[in-house]
Amino acid sequence: MPTLIIAMDGPSGTGKSTVSKEVARRAGLPHLDTGAFYRVATLAALRAAVDLADGAAVAAAVDRSEIEYEDGRMILNGDDVTEEIRGEAVTSVVSKVAAHAEVRKQFVDEQRRWVETRGGRAVVEGRDIGSVVFPDADIKIYLDARAEVRARRRAAQTGEPAEDVLADIARRDHLDSTRETSPLQVPEGAVVIDTSDMRFEGVVERVLELIEANS
């Protein structure tokens, strides 16, 4: 079977995770959530009580940890932390960890290998997939949405006040898109889909059409 890599990038609150999982399911492809790696690195660093601003110390804490990613579950030193890495303690500081070049370097090769061992066929979601991890991806998608819409979606999920969420989203967007290493950007050759006024199903279908047109 030919290789088929679908890179899905974009900020949080665009529906990237749900859309990419559903696209993978319907297209019969494995799904790789690269954000989970930066989240588990953050948890490993928090548990080791290292300074999150110190990239070398965070990378060393990651090195000392055993990290496994299988069937969408993240295992840290034998402990299933899939839910814990989505909690507030990790979410509020993960951008700091994801900004360290030392940490990114640890994961990029691992992500490439993960896809390679699955025959080079996968839907991969993140922030730097079409630009850095798989610049030659067969299909590159960049999901976007207005900040207010993204804040509203997250507030509806978590019950937090929308203004607080909006401030947090603006802060994270700024960190993710201005960091020196692999900033969030629209990769060259990507199809940009603004999901602000679209329904989930419409977005999934649009991506499936692009896959269909490519094959």
Q: Which is nearer to ligand DC, 72 or 209 (CB)?
A: 72
- Total residues at interface with ligand DC (CB under 6 A): 13
Pick from 10, 15, 55, 126 the residue near ligand DC by CB under 6 A: 126
Site for ligand DC in 53-112 (CB under 6 A): 94-95, 98
Using CB under 6 A, pick the residue from 100, 127, 153, 154 that binds ligand DC.
Answer: 127
**Residues 191 and 140: beta-carbon distance below 8 Å:** yes
Q: Is 28 helix (H, G, I), strand (E, B) or coil?
A: coil
| Least distance from ligand DC to the Cβ atom of residue 95, Å | 4
**34 touching ligand DC, by CB under 6 A:** yes
- φ, ψ for residue 196, nearest 5 deg: -50, -45
Question: How far apart are the two ends of the chain, measured CA to CA in Å?
Answer: 11
CB of 13 to ligand DC, least distance (A): 9
User: DSSP 3-state assignment of 70?
Assistant: strand
Cβ nearer to ligand DC, comparing 127 with 153: 127
Nearest Cα residue to 104 out of 43, 35, 185: 35
Give 83 or 212: the residue with its C-beta nearer to ligand DC: 83
Determine, following the binding rule CB under 6 A, whether residue 7 of this chain makes contact with ligand DC.
no
Classified as helix, coil or strand, 74 is: strand
List C-alpha distances in Å: 91 to 34, 40, 94, 173, 179: 14, 11, 5, 13, 17
Q: Name the burial class of residue 7, with classes exposed (0-12), middle (13-18) and buried (19+) by CB atoms within 10 angstroms of its CB.
A: buried
User: Cβ 129 to ligand DC, closest distance in Å?
Assistant: 6
Say if residues 16 and 124 touch (Cβ distance below 8 Å). Answer: no
Binding of ligand DC by 20 (CB under 6 A)? no
Q: Shortest distance, CB of residue 110 to ligand DC, whole angstroms? A: 12
In the complex, which residues of this chain contact ligand DC (CB under 6 A)?
12, 34-35, 38-39, 94-95, 98, 126-128, 172, 176
